[in-house]
Amino acid sequence: MSENGQYILSILGVGGRDELLYKKEGFKDVKARHFQKALRKWYPDAYVFVLATEEAETAFGQAVKEMLGNQGEIIAIPDGRNIEEFYEIYNTIAQEIPSGARVIFDITHGYRSLPVLALLTLSYLREAKEVEVTEILYAAKQGRMGIVVDLAPFLGMLDWAAATNRYIDIGDARHLAKVMRETAGLGAFGGMDADLINKLAGGLESLSNALLSNNPFAAGRQAKALLSTLEEAERALGQQESSEADHPIKLLLGRLQEQLKRMAFDHKRDDDATVLAALFNIMAWYYKHHYTEKAAALAKEFSFLLAKLQQGLPFNAEKDNNGEKYGANSLPSQLRDVFLQVKDLRNEAMHMNLDEITKDKEGRGYEEFRRTVGRALQELGKQARLAGLKGLASTELHG
C-alpha cells in the first residue's frame, strides 16, 4: 500500500497495445506498450490498483504484474453487464481505496462502461471517505505518441451539480459560492473574469448568511445589491467570444434574478408597501425551503407591520390610532387571530418545546406545525392583497 497516501486507479482494457511514446507536460517521455508503465515512472511512490476483467487479465495480466512489482496489484472485477455487476465493481473500488486517499484516475485503456462506473464511485468516495481525485488522465493516441491530458477540471461540474441542487432544494447558496470561487482562477470559461465571479460569490454568500441568521432586512439589501451584480454578469456573458465555453452560472442567472426581484428592498429608501411585499416573499421563501420556524417568526412581526400599513401608521409607531400602546389589541380582528396563532407557533419553535418539561405539554409534530404555519401564511397573503400589496409569492405553500 501507499506510504504517502497517493494511489493510481487504472483500468486494463482488452484492445490492442501499440508501443507509444507517452508525453505528459512536466514529465519525462516514456516509451511503453502499457500506459501503466508510464504511470509507474511518473509516480514512483504511488500504489497502483489496476481493474481488470477476466478477459483483460488473461490477455495482459502477467505483463502488467511484472511492471507493477510490489507497488501495485491487479483487482479482479466482473464485465459490468448488469446492475448486480455494477454494484460489485462499486464495492470493490470502495473497499480498496482508503479514506483520505489522493487518487489519480487513469481511463486510457477503459473498457466498456467501466470508466463511467469507476468515476461515479470515486465521486461518491470524495464525500463518503474524503478521497481527493487529483487527476483524471487520458492518453490520446496521435500517430506513435500518446498525448496525456488531465480531465480533472471537468470533475468540477459534479461540484456545480451538487451545489446547484443544494441551492434549489434548501435555498442555501453558500456551497454554490464556494464552488464559484474555486473556478474563478481556472480561466476555463468565457465572459466573466475572476473579480466578477468572486463578487457574485460574495453576494450569494452574504444573502444566504442574512437569510439563515433571521435578518430579512439585511437579506433585502443583499438581494438588491446582488441583482446589480447579476446584471454585470449578464452583460459580461453577452460579450464573450463564440468559441469560449459558457460559465455554469449562466444557466442559473434567470432563476436567481426571479428570486431576488421578489426579495430585494431597502427599508430606508423604499415605500412601506414595497418593503412589506418583499418581507412577505422572504417569509414565503422560508416556508418553501422548510425553514418553517423562521417563517413563523417573521409572520408574527409581519402581522404588526401589515396592520400599521392598513391603519396609516408608520412602521415605528409605538401607539395605535386610539393613543394606546401598540399591541395585539391594536390589530384588526382577522390579523389579530393570525398574530396570536403564529405567536404561539413561534414561541413553541424558538423555545425548543420546553413546555414538555415546564407544563408537561407535548409539542405538535412537524407536519402539523408546518400545516398550521402554512394556513397562517395563506391568511396573511389574503390580507396583504386586500391591502393592495403587489408581486406577492404564491401562498399555495403546503407542499
Half-sphere exposure of 132 (CA within 13 A, CB side): 6
pLDDT higher than 90, residue 374: yes
Q: 28: phi > 0 → left, psi -120 to 50 → alpha, else beta; which? A: beta
Q: What is the pLDDT of residues 58-88, one digit of tens each?
A: 988 899 999 888 999 999 999 888 899 999 9
Fold for the domain defined by 6-150: Rossmann fold (3.40.50)
The pTM (predicted TM-score) of the whole model is: 0.78
In this prediction, residue 398 has a pLDDT band, given cuts at 50, 70 and 90, of very low
Q: What is the pLDDT of residues 327-370, one digit of tens each?
A: 999 999 989 999 998 888 888 877 666 656 665 556 667 888 89
Highest mean pLDDT (candidates 105-119, 171-185, 202-216) = 202-216
Outline where DSSP puts E strands in 46-175: 47-52, 72-76, 102-106, 132-142, 145-150
pLDDT higher than 70, residue 159: yes
Q: What is the pLDDT of residues 221-277, one digit of tens each?
A: 999 999 999 999 888 887 766 655 667 777 888 888 988 999 999 999 999 999 999
- CA neighbor of 206 nearest in space, from 191, 220, 192: 220
**Which residue in this structure is represented by grid cell 490477455?**
59
pLDDT higher than 50, residue 104: yes
In this prediction, residue 216 has a pLDDT band, given cuts at 50, 70 and 90, of very high
* Alpha-carbon 197 to chain mean position: 16
**If residue 31 lies in a helix (H) or strand (E), which one and from where to where?**
strand 30-32
| DSSP symbol at 389 | -
**Which residue in this structure is represented by grid cell 473500488?**
93
The predicted pLDDT at position 298 comes to 95
